[in-house]
Chain A
């Protein structure tokens, strides 16, 4: 077994590619399952060898892609602590938060048979958990929207500056209103530990949604 640092073989980039691809699928699925958009815009596709629902609305798809393009440099440098899909009510107060808590080990113990092979299986389990999460969540009020929050460090946001300009997709620091949730109920969905990344997903749900 070989032990490598994160810089070797540009593993940060590999991890960022894998996670951003996964987050794209996860965001589409969350929007479908939680009925943020009409179900008619979603089409069944196969990802990670399981059926998922992906939007076919060009503007929405572009928005999700632009968001993740900006997040990618942070993940690459292990500077995105949490990526959060927030569902907000008409007054823009959060009603649900899907929190993806990400951490990457500084040293990688790699053998040819474990390299990436296990990751797809683990991510599939996350997708399956998201697809059935409506069973453990209360219905959302009508007219909800969504946003994506990233927990990072101030200095790290400089890594995003270039891509923000290229994509014409600026980011700002969140207001208290966008972050605060009264008496959230915590629902753990899935945890994974692999050679290249550790991730846990939980939902924070507002006690009173209406």
Chain B
């Protein structure tokens, strides 16, 4: 005779500890550096006007 399969404990499974993080990455250092350079150039141009 086949043994009855034990039922999985869904309540404890859904309450297990997890570590989560955002799927998206923050802007890269290079991207931010380019933005900073562009802003400096813009500010210099504004001063010259």
Contact = CB atoms under 8 A, between A and B. Distances in A.
* A in complex with B: yes
Interface of A: 36-38, 40-41, 57, 59-60, 63-64, 66-67, 70, 81, 143-155, 157, 169-174, 178-179
Interface of B: 13-29, 31-33, 35-36, 40
Q: Is the interface of B mostly helix, strand, loop or mixed?
A: mixed
Given A67-B22, A170-B24, 14 more contacts: A37-B29, A38-B33, A57-B36, A81-B17, A145-B25, A147-B21, A149-B20, A150-B21, A151-B19, A169-B24, A170-B23, A171-B22, A172-B21, A179-B19
A81 B15 CA distance: 13
Given A38-B36, A41-B36, A154-B13, A173 B18 contact: yes
A171 B20 contact: yes
Contacts of A59: 27, 31-32, 35
Contacts of A170: 22-24
**Nearest 10 Cβ contacts at the A-B interface:** A170-B23, A174-B19, A63-B26, A155-B14, A59-B27, A171-B20, A40-B36, A155-B15, A154-B18, A149-B21
B28 A145 contact: yes
Q: Is the interface of A mostly helix, strand, loop or mixed?
A: mixed
A155 B14 CA distance: 5
Nearest to B35: A57
Contacts of B31: 59
Nearest to B30: A143
B18 A57 contact: no
A152 B14 CA distance: 11
A148 B13 CA distance: 24
A176 to B, nearest CB: 10
Contact of B21 (A60, A154, A178): A178
